[in-house]
Amino acid sequence: MATGSAPIELAALTLILALIGGLMPILSRIKEDRDILRRITGVASGILLASAILVVIPEGFDLAMGDHDEGSHEEEASHQEEESGHQEEEGLEGLIIGGAILAGFMMMLILEGSGIGHAVHEEHHDHHGEHGHEHVHHSDSPWVIVLGLSLHSAADGLAIGSAAAGSSEAVTAIVALAVLIHKVPAAFSLGVFSAHERSERNETIRDVVLFSIATPVMIIVSFYALEGLDEHLIALAMLFAGGTFLYVATVDTLPDIHNPETGREAMLNVLMGVVIMVTILFGADAAGLIEHGH
Residue 135 lies in a domain: no
- The residue type found at 260 is P
d(Cα 55, Cα 291) in Å, to the nearest integer? 12
Q: Is residue 62 part of a domain?
A: yes
Query: How many whole angstroms separate alpha carbon 162 and alpha carbon 11?
Result: 13
Q: Exposed/middle/buried for 228, CB within 10 Å: 0-12, 13-18, 19+?
A: exposed
C-beta of residue 270 within 8 angstroms of C-beta of residue 43: yes
In a domain, 262, yes or no: yes
Contact 180, 20 (CB under 8 A): no
Give the Cα separation of 182 and 168 in Å (integer).
22
The pLDDT of residue 70 is 42
**What type of residue sits at position 293?**
G
Buried b (16+ CB within 10 A) or exposed e, 205-227: bebbebbbbbbbbbbbbbbebbb
| Stretches in the chain below the pLDDT threshold 70 | 1-6, 28-34, 67-92, 115-149, 289-294
With respect to residue 189, please indicate whether it lies within any of the assigned structural domains. yes
Residue 71 domain flag: no
pLDDT at 268: 92
**Residue 213 neighbours by CB under 8 Å, 6+ apart:** 15
Would you say residue 274 lies in a domain? yes
5 within a domain of the structure (yes/no): no
Q: What is the pLDDT of residue 225?
A: 86
* CA-angle at 97, arms to 254 and 154, nearest 5°: 55
Count: domains in the chain: 1
The burial of 254, by beta-carbon neighbours within 10 Å (0-12 exposed, 13-18 middle, 19 or more buried), is given as middle
| DSSP calls for 258-288 | HSTTTHHHHHHHHHHHHHHHHHHHHHHHHTT
The residue range of the domain holding 115 is 41-66+90-128+142-286
User: pTM for this one?
Assistant: 0.76
CB contact set of 128 (below 8 Å; sequence gap of 6+): 34, 261, 262
- d(CA 129, CA 84) in angstroms, rounded, equals 61
Q: Is residue 155 part of a domain?
A: yes
